[in-house]
Each structure stands twice: as C-alpha cells, then as structure tokens.
Amino acid sequence: MLHVHGNRVVAENDPALPGASAELPSTPPSSCTRPARAPVGRPAALASSVPAVLRSDRAKHALSAKEYSSYKGIYDKAVSTARRLSGTRRANLQDVIFALDRIARNGSLTVSRMHALFFQLDHNTQFWPSKPLPRIPPPTPSPCRYFAKKGGFVTPVRYVFDDSPLIFEYYPGNGLQLQALANWGKVNALAGACLGVYGPNVPCQPDQLKQYVDAMVAIGANRGGFTTWEYWFPFGGGSPPWTSGLTQGTAITALVRSSQVLKDPSYLKIAESAVKAFTTPAPLGVMTHAFGGNWYAEYSFAPGTYILNGFLQALNGIWDLYTATKSKHVRAIFTRGSRAAKHALHHYDTGAWSLYTLGGQEDDLNYHRLVRDFLKGLCDRTHDRVYCTYSTRFTNYLHQHEKLRYVGPRSARRGRGVPLSFRLSKISCVTVKVRHGSSTVFSSRVLEPYGTHSFTWVPRSAGTYTVEFTAYDYLNHLTVEKSTLTVKR
C-alpha cells in the first residue's frame, strides 16, 4: 500500500489482518475482463454538465450553500488543474473528470452520489500534478513463467491519503478510483479481529474500525431505493455507475460485524437497506434468475456472466444479516440464492480444479483459493452438506498433482506432421521433448487448460523416438509422462 503524505508517497506494508483486502481481488483474471479506457474524444459540451446539475440541485434546495460551493470548487479546480498537465498525468485526471461528466449527462449524478464522486475527484486533483506516477508490477508467475501474461494475478497499486483511511486503486486510463471491495474487505477484517475470528494474536482496534466504517457509510449511494457502494469508471463493457454483488455481500458482513463490535444498531439498518440489491433485478440491482433460483451477479451490468466467487460471497453476507436479524425476508433471499448455488456448483468443478465463470476458463490459484474460502464460509455458517463437500473437494485439489496422459499416436510417417496429443486434468505448464537416442530433436512449451491438446512435430528421419511430457501446475506439482513413437519411412 502506498500512503500519500503531503507531497510524498510512501510505500508501507498492508496490515497483517487475515481477510483484509489483499485476499479480495478487485478484478477478474486478465483474460476475462479488462478495464475499458474512456474515449479519447471529449465533446466540449460536456464541460458544463456537472455545474448545471449542481446549480439545479442548489435551486431546488437539495444542496446547501456550503455543499454547492464545495462541490463546484472541487470541480473547477480539477478542470483548471488538468489543463496545466500533460501526458499520463493529464490523461488520468481528465478521464476522472470525463467519467463524472458522463454520470451527470445520463442523469445519474444524484445528491446521494455526490459525496463519493467529489471526494474521489478532489484526491485525484491532489495526486496527479506532482506525485510519483504509479508503476504497475508484473503479474505473479503462472505455471509457465514465460507465459505470465496469459495468467497470474496482477498486484493492484493502491493509495491511502492522510485525510481518510479509504483505499484508492489505480486503474490505468481511469485515474485513482475508490475501491469499494478493498475498503469493505479491510473493515470486515478489523471487525472480525474484534470478534476473535482470527484468534488472540490479531488485536482489536475499535477506534480504527469506527473511523473506517463511518468513512465507508459516508460514501454509500442510494441506487434504486437501496444502499450500495458503486464504481465510477467504465469496466468490462459496463458504464458507471455500476455495482457488484461481491462488494455488496462483503459490505453487509462488515456492517453486521461492526454493529456487533461497536454496539451501534445503525450499521445493521444500513445492511438491511443494502440487502435490497439482491431483490432488485439487474442492471439496477444484481438479481437475476438461473439454476432454479436467484443468482446474484458480480457485476450489475453483466447479469448473464455467472461468476462463482462473487455469488458465494454475496450468500455469506446475506446469511450474516439473517443471523443478526432473524428476518424471514432475508432468509428467503438467502434460500433462493442458495438453491441456485447448489444446483450450479457441479458446473464449476472440473474434477481437478474450479472454473471462474460458467463454461469459461479455470481459476488462477488466487481465485481457486478464494472460491474455496467462500465455500468454507458457507459451510461454517450453514453446516450445509453441499457447501462442506465442495469446500473439502476444492481444498483437496490444491494438494493433488495434475494428471497428464499421452493419447497418441504411437506411429508416424517421416516428413509428415504428427500431433503429439495429451490429456490434462488441470491448467498447467506443459513441456514436450522428443529424443532420438541422446539427442533432443524437438521441444516446445505451452500453458494449457484442462482438456486434450497437442504439439505438432514433423519427424525428419525414421526410427524409434522417446516422447516425454513434463507438467507443472500453479503449485509447482510435477508430473512426467513418457512414451515411444515409431517413425516409418
């Protein structure tokens, strides 16, 4: 984490709290969804949209004179600052301004959203003129180190400013964005520490918890009649403002825990408002119908993308609220979602690993562990046999070696391409070497998902060859498979 102190940016380690934001990834695997860059061209007419909304709300007395002056001052300063900048600095600050303009233009700049949006704009205006430019670290290695761009979790670049505990994350081309999931993950961890969730060695810090949860409550927005924590930048084809079932579930758990630790029922009331996201159809809310029940979407703008980890975490949050309130209505929300989850789980189980989306790619190591943890959370909460079984099964996959089997052929013709086919049980880095005596005549390496794949080799001479496959999975388990291949003239 990078802490912004006045004119300095200082790198500090994240607090060693189990369950903190580092365990809650903010983005899906890079090959699934990538942040969309804002358009390069910006119509000049957009420049007046935000001030027009502010003037209208002031005239209707929806904003006080102090609020109007503050918001207009933040906006004017951001616009004038961006004009003086160039390159990356100007592009990122302009894109934050442009996203705010778009939100105003589409009628979404409501009073309830203004605190968060202008807070975010103000901190971008502070950052971009003089702070060191963010540097994106490379992805963590995938099973094939040289194919890291195809997989692996990219460590997010995050900032905390002096005046607030809230975490901002850098999204290239979209500036610094309030990271709702990371923030609620931190609140959740602070409250969990006070409840003894992580054992006696993790201290309770109630004052820090109070400051943090109040800061998050302050940036909540009213969206279609429920409280939520939105995202203010275009992402994966979605336009802001959008929300997330994953974030909503994490927020509800954090609010329930904070209410218990701080003995403040107001946080529980906010959680009761937040749970309405799961009864509001997407894209306004996150509810859709699937698998014989209700599915709670990770992204409100993509209800047809069935991402497992976000759905399971939503169920954890809903259950926590039910436990705290004993509300039959909340229990019904959980039951409808749980019915879908239990019908869906086998579709995400490859027999050796988990899938990120329905019919999609396998999870990377980080996401597989996350799904396992969310399943364990449901098992511990509900004692439901289905969740407990899958939690154990996905844990076992972390310890099981990948299986690789050569499926042929056993013979080939000289000068003709031959597919060296193999069947793989889980995503792995696979290397093939074809040897003739002590000489290696062909070698290749590739990162492959589970299923059947092949390398193509053209033998140049007849004889008997040894074909050796070596596979490494995400946990560096090693599997070697050897066979012989006869090449005829």
- Which of left, alpha, beta for 78 (phi over 0: left; psi -120 to 50: alpha)? alpha
**Tens digit of each residue's pLDDT (9 = 90 or more) over 234-282:** 998 899 999 999 999 999 999 999 999 999 999 999 999 999 999 999 9
Give yes or no: residues 382 and 426 share one domain: no
Task: Answer yes or no: pTM beyond 0.75.
Answer: yes
Tally of domains within the chain: 2
**Tens digit of each residue's pLDDT (9 = 90 or more) over 327-348:** 999 999 999 999 999 999 999 9
Give yes or no: residues 253 and 218 share one domain: yes
Nearest residue to 398 via CA among 480, 481, 307, 476:
476
Contact 195, 260 (CB under 8 A): yes
Q: Using a pLDDT cut of 70, give the percent of the chain over it.
A: 87
Work out the angle between the directed axes of helices 308-325 and 365-382 (0-180°, nearest 10): 30
**Tens digit of each residue's pLDDT (9 = 90 or more) over 169-218:** 999 999 999 999 999 999 999 999 999 998 889 999 999 999 999 999 99
**32 within a domain of the structure (yes/no):** no
Predicted local confidence at residue 150, as pLDDT: 44
Give yes or no: residues 362 and 480 share one domain: no
Give yes or no: residues 355 and 382 share one domain: yes
Domain closes at, from 396, 425, 440: 396
Give yes or no: residues 160 and 234 share one domain: yes
Give the residue numbers spanning the domain of 462: 404-488
Predicted local confidence at residue 399, as pLDDT: 96
In the block, which residue shows the tokens 């003709």? 416
Name the residue with higher pLDDT: 336 or 144: 336
**SS3 readout for the chain:** CEEEECCEEEECCCCCCCCCHHHCCCCCCCCCCCCCCCCCCCCHHHHHHHHHHHHHHHHCCCCCHHHHHHHHHHHHHHHHHHHHCCHHHHHHHHHHHHHHHHHHHCCCCCHHHHHHHHHHHHHHHHHCCCCCCCCCCCCCCCCCHHHHHHCCCCCCCEEEECCCCCEEEECCCCCEEECHHHHHHHHHHHHHHHCCCCCCCCCCCHHHHHHHHHHHHHCCEEECCEEECCECCCECCECCCECCHHHHHHHHHHHHHHHHHHCCHHHHHHHHHHHHHHCCECCCCCEEEECCEEEECCCCCCCCCCEHHHHHHHHHHHHHHHHHHCCHHHHHHHHHHHHHHHHHHHHHECCCCEECECCCCECCHHHHHHHHHHHHHHHHHHCCHHHHHHHHHHHHHCCCCCCEEEEECCEEECCCCEEEEEEECCCEEEEEEEEECCEEEEEEEEEECCEEEEEEECCCCCEEEEEEEEEECCCCCEEEEEEEEEEEC
**33 within a domain of the structure (yes/no):** no
**Tens digit of each residue's pLDDT (9 = 90 or more) over 17-71:** 444 433 333 343 333 333 333 333 344 444 458 999 999 999 999 999 999 999 9
Nearest residue to 452 via CA among 418, 484, 405, 411:
405
Domain closes at, from 396, 427, 456: 396
Give yes or no: residues 15 and 141 share one domain: yes
Predicted local confidence at residue 49, as pLDDT: 87
**10 within a domain of the structure (yes/no):** yes
**430 within a domain of the structure (yes/no):** yes
Predicted local confidence at residue 19, as pLDDT: 45
- What is the average pLDDT score of the chain? 89
Confidence band of 4 (pLDDT split at 50, 70, 90): confident
Give yes or no: residues 105 and 86 share one domain: yes
Confidence band of 167 (pLDDT split at 50, 70, 90): very high
**8 within a domain of the structure (yes/no):** yes
Confidence band of 16 (pLDDT split at 50, 70, 90): very low
Domain closes at, from 396, 429, 448: 396
Bridge-partner residues for 349, per DSSP? 354
The CATH number of whichever domain residue 224 belongs to comes to 1.50.10
Give yes or no: residues 375 and 425 share one domain: no
pLDDT value at 309 more than 50:
yes
Longest Cα–Cα distance of the chain, Å, equals 90
Confidence band of 15 (pLDDT split at 50, 70, 90): very low
Give yes or no: residues 448 and 376 share one domain: no
Give yes or no: residues 464 and 358 share one domain: no
Predicted local confidence at residue 303, as pLDDT: 96
**Tens digit of each residue's pLDDT (9 = 90 or more) over 373-412:** 999 999 999 999 999 999 999 999 999 999 999 998 999 9
**31 within a domain of the structure (yes/no):** no
Give yes or no: residues 388 and 461 share one domain: no
The CATH number of whichever domain residue 426 belongs to comes to 2.60.40.730
Q: Record the tokens describing residue 182, joined without a space.
A: 């990371």
